[in-house]
A and B are shown apart, each in its own frame.
Chain A
Amino acid sequence: MNARFFSLGRVRAIGSNTFTELTRLRVFYVFLLFALLLIGSSVVMARLSFQQEFQVLKDISLGAISIFTSLLAILATARMLPQDIEDRTVYTILAKPVARSEYLVGKLAGVLVLLAISTAVMAALFFAALYIREQSALAETMRQMSAAPPEQVADALREIRDSTFHADLLAGIAAIFIKAAVLASLTLFISTFASSNIFTVVVAVVVYFIGHLQGTAREFWLQEQGAGWFTRIFLACVALLFPDLQLFNLNDQVVAGATIPPAQFVETALLGCFYVAIYLPLSVAVFARKEL
């Protein structure tokens, strides 16, 4: 038995318990079902030219994955602390040699595992839908071009394949998960000082919208007001308080067919880690002083 400053074993135990608890929530399955239906229905929604069809399918599916994971990140995280305090589970856990930092990290880890699995499930369905449409498009193209020269057929088939699967899809989906992780850590921070579950959800949703709009607002501000040092400091503070969530939306590039340079993806991932690394210690600092 030991009470080291930080034990991964205790974090794992709390994380795994949190994950199990979250998977028991019916609302989670309702959301997941809704997202899966949306992704599945995108196959029949788009009956346009092949390129447009793939574009619409990606647009709807990636949008559904993004909205679902963001909502899940906020709703699942917002209920954790108030629920544990209300039913006094937090007393039973923190009366053991468990540091409050371990408790919070464990809780966040449980949510992140849930988000990772949900994202993977939705991505798998999305890829399946895309594959089905690709196979159908390939078969139809071959049928239509049965009399065309082989080189022309090969070019047409390559064009279809190029507009369906490519590595950038994975980068876009990974960015969705990173954005959800940022939202989860932000929501955890809000819940450490919030008085209720509803308050946490409302504030997190407001921050979500500000986070998506602040990039545009910043550009507008810089154009109008110039880029003086005061403006820059102010904007940096705003960016720290409200994460620029638009930076995690690599989907738009993926849907438009543009490639995502590895450097841009690494930058996005590091930015996500930076935000989590800011919000988590802040959460621990506030929660450490919280009187239970």
Chain B
Amino acid sequence: MIESAVHITGVSKTFPIPFTRRSIVAVRDLHLRVEPGEVYGLLGPNGSGKSTTLKIILGLILPDCGKAQIFGRDTSEVASREAVGFLPESPYFPKYLTAFETLRFFGKLYSLRPAELSRRVAELLELVGLTSAGDRRLGGFSKGMLQRIGLAQALINNPRLVVLDEPTAGVDPAGSAEIRDLILDLKRRGITVLLSSHLLEQVQEVCDRIGILADGVLVREGRIGELLAVENQSELIYGNGTSDLSAQLEQVVRSSGGQVIENRKSRTTLERLFLEATRK
């Protein structure tokens, strides 16, 4: 049996409010499974329990009850994080370190051997497009560049699971598209990605499955295609068609008892339009 990348069963977590007898329920009886190789999107409004769930997965907090495992290892075990890479929301890195030194520092935390570490650092700087900025101090980096360094440090150990908390927060559309492409690249390489984001359109583009949290409860979960499908409607997109063809198709739909809800020109996305307009 293949072990799930992330397996959460019956996890609940409450936080007491200081100096009162009350407490806040952050996560309630959560059951969640992320299979190896898939990109899973964790969605929800602010305060829905996304960050708490990610922290439980990373062993930063312990659940009140239930069990959380990464590739079969309990998340309370330090060793469970050997196969994990994590990019926190708006990551902070010491400004005085260069990109190269930053990646070396994080690599040392995985006890990588010097030769392997040097090779990985070079590979990752190349992957995130920062090879030429490797010797520059992070103090002079843009938000997008910092986010890319954050992504690189999350990949330094060649992880089997990458956890990304709002990976595109504060990044411009071009940077955001680059990060999306990197996520898709990870997926192609068979790396499991657990992603928390507010950018629904981007989640829709990259995720295989999503889970929606509200008030600490997983209210929806499933494959994107299945969740977004409208039960009794279909779309047909064709190219190089004349207005006559369009009218004929509408006629066919009506004559077979169907209903034409909308007939319009296909649209590009705002992101694609922006990227085309600003491409140098």
The reply to whether the CB of B55 lies closer than 8 angstroms to some CB of chain A is yes
The reply to whether the CB of B174 lies closer than 8 angstroms to some CB of chain A is no
Q: Which residue of B lies closest to A84 (CB)?
A: B92
Q: Which residue of A lies closest to B84 (CB)?
A: A95
Q: Which residue of A lies closest to B95 (CB)?
A: A24
The reply to whether the CB of A73 lies closer than 8 angstroms to some CB of chain B is no
The reply to whether the CB of B202 lies closer than 8 angstroms to some CB of chain A is no
Interface string of A1-45 (1 = CB under 8 A from B): 111110101101110010011001000000000000000000000
Q: Are A9 and B111 in contact (CB under 8 A)?
A: yes
The reply to whether the CB of B78 lies closer than 8 angstroms to some CB of chain A is yes
Q: Are B92 and A89 in contact (CB under 8 A)?
A: yes
The reply to whether the CB of B91 lies closer than 8 angstroms to some CB of chain A is yes
With contact pairs A9-B108, A92-B106 given, residues A292 and B60 touching in the complex (Cβ less than 8 Å): yes
Interface residues contributed by chain A, number (CB under 8 Å): 29
Interface string of A154-183 (1 = CB under 8 A from B): 000000000000000000000000000000
Q: Which residues of chain A have C-beta atoms less than 8 A from B111's C-beta?
A: 1-4, 7, 9-10
Q: Which residues of chain B have C-beta atoms less than 8 A from A143's C-beta?
A: none
The reply to whether the CB of B96 lies closer than 8 angstroms to some CB of chain A is yes
The reply to whether the CB of B227 lies closer than 8 angstroms to some CB of chain A is no
The reply to whether the CB of A93 lies closer than 8 angstroms to some CB of chain B is yes
Q: Which residues of chain A have C-beta atoms less than 8 A from B82's C-beta?
A: 1-3, 97
With contact pairs A89-B92, A97-B79 given, residues A1 and B157 touching in the complex (Cβ less than 8 Å): yes
Q: Are B91 and A92 in contact (CB under 8 A)?
A: yes
The reply to whether the CB of B130 lies closer than 8 angstroms to some CB of chain A is no
Q: Are A3 and B108 in contact (CB under 8 A)?
A: no
Q: Are A24 and B109 in contact (CB under 8 A)?
A: no
Cα(A3)–Cα(B94), bound, Å: 25
Q: Are A88 and B90 in contact (CB under 8 A)?
A: yes
Of B55, B81, B93, B110, the contact of A292 (CB 8 Å cutoff): B55
Of B61, B105, B110, the contact of A17 (CB 8 Å cutoff): B105
Q: Which residues of chain A have C-beta atoms less than 8 A from B175's C-beta?
A: none
Q: Are B106 and A96 in contact (CB under 8 A)?
A: yes
Q: Which residue of B lies closest to A10 (CB)?
A: B109
With contact pairs A17-B94, A20-B96, A88-B88 given, residues A93 and B78 touching in the complex (Cβ less than 8 Å): no
User: Distance in Å from the Cβ of B83 to the closest Cβ of chain A?
Assistant: 9
Cα(A91)–Cα(B90), bound, Å: 12
Cα(A96)–Cα(B83), bound, Å: 9
Cα(A98)–Cα(B92), bound, Å: 18
Which of A1, A99, A292 gathers the greatest number of chain B CB atoms within 10 Å?
A: A1
- The 8 nearest A-B residue pairs measured at CB: A13-B108, A95-B86, A87-B92, A3-B79, A95-B58, A96-B109, A291-B61, A292-B60
Q: Which residues of B contact A (CB under 8 A)?
A: 15, 55, 58-62, 78-79, 81-82, 84, 86, 88-94, 96-97, 105-106, 108-112, 150, 153, 157, 163
Would you mind naming 12 contact pairs between A and B with Cβ atoms under 8 Å apart? A1-B110, A2-B111, A3-B82, A9-B108, A10-B111, A17-B105, A21-B94, A91-B55, A93-B109, A94-B58, A97-B109, A98-B81
Kindly list 12 other residue pairs between chains A and B, CB separation below 8 angstroms, not including A1-B111, A92-B86, A97-B82: A1-B157, A3-B79, A3-B81, A9-B111, A13-B108, A20-B96, A87-B92, A91-B55, A92-B93, A92-B153, A96-B106, A291-B15
